[in-house]
Amino acid sequence: METKIRDVCREFKIKGEYLSYEEITIGNVNKTYKVNFRNDDGSVSSYVVQEVNTYVFKSPEQVMENIANVTEFIHSKKPDELSLHYYHTIDHKTYIFDKTGFWRLFNYIPSATYNVCDDLEIVCNAGTAFGEFQMLLSDFDASKLHETIPHFHNTIKRYEKLIADANDDPCGRLKEVKEELEWLLSVKDKACTMTRMRNNGELPLRVTHNDTKINNVLFDKKTKKALVVIDLDTVMPGLVGHDFGDAIRFATNYVEEDCKDYEKAGVNLDVFTAFTKGFIKQTVHTLTENELNTLALGGFVLACELSTRFLDDYIIGDKYFKIRYPEHNLVRTRCQIALAKDMLTKMDRMNEIVMTFAKQYR
Ligand code: GN1
Ligand code: MG
């Protein structure tokens, strides 16, 4: 791997003396490495090298085109805001696509990231960052975007795939997951509410981030302010409730999304309140009533959707998500189901919190 990483850096014209590399293990699909170089003046510069997962992203060139367009658009509105800068190769491309894979390289931003966080100031700043991200893109021409993963947050299609793969049962794993599958099917109707509303024209399509985990925001270690929203791979047309919901299902969970003690999974309402405050303050003036009314539901929808995706991947033999041990996708499924169940019991309270901030900031 080291030789490949050094080759990639050379192709991206990185100057200086190569020192070392380490894997950054955050992220469930791409492979990410931090690489360190010594400059001529003795200082050290770090870069991020990423191998994009081409099983997941079938047209990675289109992903790069989307990122370039969106980053440029945000930069034109907020020129002083930090952003990831993708380096160019000798032949002026922002990627290398060869038989070893699809590679890209960008600047490393020293910062703090969180997988779980109960510092309410940081959580509120994350809500602000994702809310602002959405607002900055509110007049972005969505027809310029490639749909890099078709039907990404189409919960109905996610369920259809799960059911079809469970029927095929290619790895003989169905017998282990009967209970999980049964529960997911029992809430299918509710979990598909937002997709149905979208199909009926009751929810507007916007340009959304689509992967709003709190670890996709880089924070200043000292001030706790959000520095930049990263991982723009899945920026596509989508629903605001997807972005809010995905953030909620990840950030408000008492435990990490793949915690083996899944009975500990659940919504921390203080964290929910803090995130909601930041998000609503940014977005409230553009949200429709239907959007507001489905924000909290979005958390449940996304927890169910992720459960179907993790469970489906387990059933088909772990093809999509990186796993660190054989039952990893099953553990992820169980943890998301436990979270979804807890969300059902707290849904009224979550809706009240959304409405309180909506009134306050309107
Ligand atoms: C994947 O790789 P990462 O962590 O950025 C996935 C998301 C899931 C997430 C679950 C392209 O994101 O949709 O919510 O794992 N990304 C893709 O942790 O499928
Ligand atoms: Mg991602």
CA gap 219, 110 in Å, rounded = 9
Q: Report pLDDT for 320.
A: 98
Q: Is the CB of 234 under 6 A from ligand 1?
A: yes
Answer yes or no: is the C-beta of 66 below 6 A from any ligand 1 atom: no
Q: What distance in Å separates the CA atoms of residue 358 and residue 300, rounded to the nearest whole number?
A: 20
Query: Using an 8 Å Cβ cutoff, are 28 and 328 in contact?
Result: no
Nearest Cα residue to 243 out of 283, 201, 183? 283
Whose tokens are 């899944």? That residue is 262
- For ligand 1, atom 18, name the residue with the nearest CA: 28
Query: Residue whose CA is closest, atom 10 of ligand 1?
Result: 28
pLDDT at 157: 98
The count of C-alpha atoms lying within 13 angstroms of the C-alpha of 349, restricted to the half-sphere facing its C-beta, is: 11
pTM comes to 0.97
Taking Cα atoms as reference points, which of 219, 217, 162 lies closest to residue 185? Answer: 162
pLDDT value of position 81: 87
Span 43-53, average pLDDT: 98
Residue nearest to atom 4 of ligand 1 (CA): 27
Distance 213 CA to ligand 1 centre (A): 9
Nearest atom of ligand 1 to the alpha carbon of 216 = 5
Per residue in 166-194, pLDDT tens?
A: 999 999 999 999 999 999 999 999 999 99
- Angle (CA) 341 342 348, round 5°: 105
Structure confidence by residue, pLDDT tens digits, 258-307: 999 999 999 999 999 999 999 999 999 999 999 999 999 999 999 999 99
Minimal-distance CA residue to ligand 1 atom 14: 211
CA–centroid distance, 17 to ligand 1, in Å, is 34
pLDDT digits (tens, 9 = 90+) for 132-149: 999 999 999 988 999 999
Report pLDDT digits (tens) over 56-90: 999 999 999 999 999 999 999 999 988 899 999 99
